Amino acid sequence: MDPPGYRPTPSSAFPPRKSSWSPSTAPSALNALPSTAQYELESLFLWYDTTPSLRTDHSSPPRTGFGGLSRRRGKKPVIAAVNGLAFGGGMEIVANVDLVVAAENAVFALPEVRRGVGAMAGALPRLGRTVGRVRAMEMGLTGRGVGPEEGVRWGFVNEVVPAIEIAVQIAANSPDSVIVTRAGVVAAWEDGSAENASRMVQDNWADALNTGENLREGVRAFVEKREPRWVDSKL
């Protein structure tokens, strides 16, 4: 089950039901991706967003590096599963996804200042919103690595656990509700206004959510005391 015309620079697999897995597989280069692979990833995530049967995606490299996307915009949740180095572009990804889980050997850094370049793909402002100004300054100005436990304390890592656990939990929920919930959080984070975000969710999503089959199924399942049988989202 690969997207049309997809070349596996980052490969894809589907380990849990209703989820996709997009590992980067260039270990000799610490999973750094060439410019062509950036476009491939953009196509991959567009395909993920437009494939109704897929509900979560978690991106993970083999043990020594991390590479992928930045500035992604889409409607479905993406989990970064960091198993090794998330430096530079990898950290740009971490700053932009919806959830971050990390292995014990994970290291996060924005080392651009040590090489005379800049982190200009969106990580700095997003990281500032997530962890606060002084911690974003420390990470950006020193270029030092941050371990997974410190990442949890700072607030940009959810847990030090396998990504598959969170992916399965999310995929078990209503795909309509997952999309709308994510939209509300992202809108407030990007706009900075809880009032504007609430209005956007109401205007753009409420009618479709409230008239959808999954809302009716969720209520029926609750009344009948059984697990819901969700249908693929039409949102």
Residues 113-162: tens digit of each pLDDT:
999 988 887 889 889 999 999 999 999 999 999 999 999 999 999 999 77
Q: Identify whether 112 is a catalytic site residue.
A: yes
- Identity of the residue numbered 27: P
Q: Parallel, antiparallel, or unpaired: how do β-strands 78-82 and 99-102 relate?
A: parallel
- Which sequence spans correspond to the domains of the chain? 19-168, 173-224
Say how far apart CA 205 and CA 165 lie, in whole Å.
28
**CATH code for the domain defined by 19-168:** 3.90.226.10
Q: Is residue 134 classed as helix, strand or coil in its secondary structure?
A: helix
Instruction: Report pTM.
Output: 0.71
Structure tokens of 113? Answer: 């200042």
Top pLDDT among 235 and 28 is at 235
Count of CB atoms within 10 A of residue 206's CB?
11
* Candidate list 40, 42, 104, 112, residue with the active-site label: 112
- Identity of the residue numbered 32: A
Q: Identify whether 217 is a catalytic site residue.
A: no
Closest by Cα among 212, 151, 204 to 182: 204
* Candidate list 40, 42, 92, 224, residue with the active-site label: 92
Rounded to 10 degrees, the C-alpha dihedral 193/195/198/203 comes to -110
Closest by Cα among 167, 172, 136 to 21: 167
Per residue in 156-198, pLDDT (tens digit) is 999 997 767 788 889 899 999 999 999 999 888 887 788 888 9
